[in-house]
């Protein structure tokens, strides 16, 4: 990238994004800015690192989604059990009519239900956070591809012949 092009880029004042969560016993404590940043002077390094980062965050998303599904199942099961118990308790001998609102009021006051719902909400947050990072990495991939295309066009414009051929390893000039 030319010095003029560097000067044309606005300085972005993006706050540090650190995540610190535990997914399935695996702690994830990372500075996400480093994973999402693209160094235009090291496109090869960014291209090489991109699949590993994507795979890492995608696998963490899957773990978070599994834990969320398990927590949601546990919550639904507990609610169903408490609905049955609340209906039996409130109806007594069956002579009283019990409304859904009465049952819901009893269930919503149960600490075990509140704890299960809190766990679901926390896991939803973690799952969405990791999913957002995966989407950001997809965007980073698109940016890398565009930067590589721009670099190739810039080199061709300067009269440098760019002929890339696939080998066993990364792309090499021939």
pLDDT single digits (tens) 86-116: 888 877 766 678 888 888 888 888 999 999 9
Among 133, 139, 114, CA closest to 56 = 133
Which of 31-45, 91-105, 110-124, 146-160 has the lowest average pLDDT? 91-105
pLDDT above 60 for 169: no
Q: What average pLDDT does the segment 29-49 reach?
A: 86
Residue 72: per-residue pLDDT: 97
**What is the 8-class DSSP label of residue 54?**
H
- Report the Cα 39 to chain-centroid distance in Å: 22
Residue 73: per-residue pLDDT: 97
Residue 174: per-residue pLDDT: 44
Using a 10 angstrom Cβ sphere, with 0-12 exposed, 13-18 middle and 19 or more buried, the burial of residue 165 is exposed
> Nearest 5 degrees, angle CA 127-CA 130-CA 133?
150
Given a contact cutoff of 8 angstroms between Cβ atoms, the answer to whether 34 and 19 are in contact is no
| pLDDT tens digits, one per residue of 60-74 | 999 999 999 999 999
Structure tokens at 36: 């999402």
Specify the pTM: 0.71
CA dist., res. 170 & res. 174, Å (int): 13
Structure tokens at 82: 């408490």
Residue 41: per-residue pLDDT: 86
| pLDDT tens digits, one per residue of 11-21 | 566 677 777 77
Q: Three-state SS for 135?
A: helix
Q: What average pLDDT does the segment 134-162 reach?
A: 86
- Highest mean predicted confidence (pLDDT) among 58-62, 151-155, 167-171: 58-62
Among 23, 26, 31, CA closest to 61 = 23
Domain range list for the chain: 43-173
Which residues are registered as beta bridge partners of 172? 165
Q: Across all residues in the chain, what is the average pLDDT? A: 82
Q: What average pLDDT does the segment 11-40 reach?
A: 77
CA dist., res. 39 & res. 107, Å (int): 54
């Amino acid at each position: 990238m030319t010095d003029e092009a560097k000067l044309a880029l606005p300085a972005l004042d993006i706050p540090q994004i650190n995540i610190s969560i535990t997914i399935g016993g695996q702690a994830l404590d990372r500075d996400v800015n480093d994973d999402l940043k693209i160094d235009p002077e090291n496109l090869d390094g960014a291209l090489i690192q991109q699949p590993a980062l994507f795979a890492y965050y995608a696998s963490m998303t899957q773990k978070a989604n599994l834990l969320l599904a398990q927590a949601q199942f546990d919550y639904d099961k507990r609610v169903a059990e408490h609905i049955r118990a609340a209906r039996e308790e409130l109806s007594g001998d069956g002579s009283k009519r019990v409304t859904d609102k009465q049952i819901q009021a009893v269930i919503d006051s149960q600490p075990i239900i509140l704890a299960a719902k809190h766990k679901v909400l926390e896991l939803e947050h973690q799952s969405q956070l990791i999913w957002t990072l995966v989407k950001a990495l997809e965007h980073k991939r698109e940016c890398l591809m565009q930067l590589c295309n721009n670099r190739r066009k810039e080199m061709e414009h300067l009269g440098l012949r760019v002929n890339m051929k696939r080998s066993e390893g990364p792309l090499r000039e021939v």
